[in-house]
Structure formats: C-alpha cells, structure tokens
Amino acid sequence: MIKAPPRIFLLGLRGTGKSTIAPLLAERLAWNWCDMDAELERRAGQSVREMFARLGESGFRQRESDLLREICSLEQVVVATGGGIVLKEENRRMLRQTGTCIWLRASLPVLVARLHNDPRSATLRPALTDLPLAEEMALLLTERAPLYQSCAHLVVDTDTLAPTAIADLICQRLMPTSARIS
C-alpha cells in the first residue's frame, strides 16, 4: 500500500482561502497546522509587506524557501503556503515530493471581490506589480496557474464553496473513512 505523505500543502493565489482552510482541515484530521506568512511575520517581527520593503522580494523568497525546508520535516501538518511559493523550481520540487499538494483554485472576479473586501490586504500584503488590483491578479493567475497545476495532487474549485465545505471536501477526497476523526 502507498503511504500518503504526512503533510498537506494548500496552494493558490491570495484570496483563495488557504489561511482560513488550513485550521479547519487540521481540526478534521487532528493534525497541526501552520501558516507560512504568519510564521515568517512572527520570526521577523514585521508584516510581509514590511519584509518586502526591507529585504526586497528576493530576500523574502529566500526566507520563504528556508522555512519550507524546515516544514518539510514536520509530520501531520496542514500548511497554508504563500501565494508565490511555487515560483521557485526548488520549492515546487520540495512541495511535490514531501507532501500532498492541494491547489485552491478561484476565478478572477471572485479573487478580486474577495481581496477588495479583505481589509488586511491593503495594509499587510505588498503590491507585487504597479498594476491596479484586478490587472495584477489577472497577470498572476495567468503566470502561476501552470505552476500550481504542476504541483497539484488535487484541485479544488473554491468559487461557490464555504471554507468549511472545502475542508470537508478535501478530507473526503484524501482520507479513507477510518482515518477521519468525525
């Protein structure tokens, strides 16, 4: 029998619900969970936006890769990754080889609406381009969709599902009945 890796990586753009779904899924599996951006912020004592300003994007990406390497040795953990984790080839390899990767997919209008309604977005998230939000998200979706797809063991469309329903769905798809706690 093939043994499932003891960690789950939630992948996807900003606004796909990774940070909300990670604790919900972990609760259902009786696993731990980790939010990579929150952990990087805790360690640096700064928001991701401030880290981008201080270290530049490449400095932030280096810390992100270092943290991913650490997380790859943890067991029974659901990980909310940052939206740009798939940009580095080295990260994509680690993600695919050491965990079950789930791409939380959302359509452009839904992503833009969610980010418009998220007050954290403007203050804590760095702008990744000089473009207005809708155009930035369109560009990121085009550039990154093939990267998320190349890592994904499972793709979940999130447009019309509540976070709890998404966590339930992932649980059903990944775990045999006997491994679930509810």
Enumerate binding residues for ligand S3P (CB under 6 A): 14, 18, 37, 48, 82-84, 125-126, 128
Residue among 149 and 172 whose Cβ is closer to ligand S3P: 149
Residue among 41 and 180 whose Cβ is closer to ligand S3P: 41
Residue among 27 and 39 whose Cβ is closer to ligand S3P: 39
With beta carbons less than 8 A apart as the criterion, state whether 151 and 95 touch.
Answer: yes
Q: Which two tokens stand for residue 23?
A: 């604790």
**CA atoms 156, 161, 167, 173: torsion sign:** negative
Under the phi-then-psi rule, with left for phi > 0, alpha for psi from -120 to 50, and beta for the rest, what region is 12?
A: left
Closest distance between ligand S3P and the C-beta of residue 111, in Å? 11
Strand (E) or helix (H) holding 142 = helix 133-151
Closest distance between ligand S3P and the C-beta of residue 182, in Å? 27
Closest distance between ligand S3P and the C-beta of residue 61, in Å? 9
